[in-house]
Amino acid sequence: MITVYKSKKLSGFISIPGDKSISHRAIIFGALCVGRTTVRGLLESEDVQRTIEAVRQLGAKVDKKDGKWEVYGFGVGGFTSPENVIDCGNSGTTCRLIMGAISTTPISAIFVGDKSLSQRPMDRVIEPLSEIGVKCSARNGSFLPITLEGISSAMPIDFVSKVDSAQVKSAILLAGLNSRGTTKYVERTLTRDHTERMLISFGGKIKTEKTANGYTHYLEGLQELKPQEITVPSDPSSASFFIAAALMVEGSDITIRNICMNETRIGFLKVVNKMGARIEVNNKKTICGESVADLRVKYSRLKGVKVPESLVASMIDEFPILSVLAALAEGKTEMNQIAELKVKESDRIVSMCKGLRQCGVDVNFGEDYMTVKGMKEIRGGQLINTFNDHRIAMSFICLAQVAQKPITISETNSISTSFPEFIEKFKEIGANLSNQMNQ
List of residues contacting ligand S3P (CB under 6 A): 21, 24, 93, 165-167, 170, 191-192, 316-317, 340
Omega of the bond leading into 145 within 30 degrees of 0 (cis): yes
The least distance separating ligand S3P from the CB of residue 300, rounded to whole angstroms, comes to 26
189 phi, psi to nearest 5 deg: -125, 150
The least distance separating ligand S3P from the CB of residue 169, rounded to whole angstroms, comes to 7
Q: Which is nearer to ligand S3P, 167 or 178 (CB)?
A: 167
Torsion of CA 80, 25, 73, 37, to 10 degrees: -170
> What does the alpha-carbon distance between residue 353 and residue 370 come to, in Å, rounded to a whole number?
8
Asked if residues 300 and 276 have their Cβ atoms less than 8 Å apart, the reply is yes
Q: Indicate if 362 belongs to the active site.
A: no
Residue number with the smallest Cβ distance to ligand S3P: 21
Q: Which is nearer to ligand S3P, 105 or 161 (CB)?
A: 161
> b/e string for 349-368 if b means 16 or more Cβ within 10 A?
bebbbbbbeebebebebeee
Distances (CA, A) of 125 to 51, 118, 148, 179, 243: 17, 14, 11, 16, 33
Active-site option among 317, 362, 368, 389:
317
> What does the alpha-carbon distance between residue 266 and residue 281 come to, in Å, rounded to a whole number?
12
> What does the alpha-carbon distance between residue 125 and residue 148 come to, in Å, rounded to a whole number?
11
Indicate which residues carry an active-site annotation. Answer: 317
